[in-house]
Amino acid sequence: MCNGTSNKDCDGAIGLFSNNLAMNWQQILDASGGRLIVAPRSCPTFNGLTARQCWDVTAVLPSGPFCMVVANDANDPRYPDYFEIGGQDGTDRLGGSPTGWPMCLRSP
């Protein structure tokens, strides 16, 4: 479900969400019944990185929501497309999320 989001941005945000959960995606997709919610939000700043467009992308699971903050149109050429800038870290980053990692604003 895309709330107030263009199809292009919804597809991009969902694509990034699924890519970052590559090893766990099928499990989360199955548990959510394929129900993902993409909702616009204000963009957080993290380590000096800002973006002009951001969304909370949420999979609704029986155990509770799993959410990532996805951004686009950053002030940094290293991020020319959609990228994760907060939320629950789905990349299995060694050591967990960085200090100050922004969380999602909404829960379904």
State the sign of the Cα–Cα–Cα–Cα dihedral 93, 103, 39, 81.
negative
- pLDDT for 92: 52
Query: Is the per-residue pLDDT at 108 higher than 60?
Result: no
Confidence of residue 54 (pLDDT cuts 50, 70, 90): very high
- pLDDT for 96: 63
Mean pLDDT of 56-62: 89
pTM of the model: 0.81
The number of beta carbons lying within 10 Å of the beta carbon of residue 103 is: 12
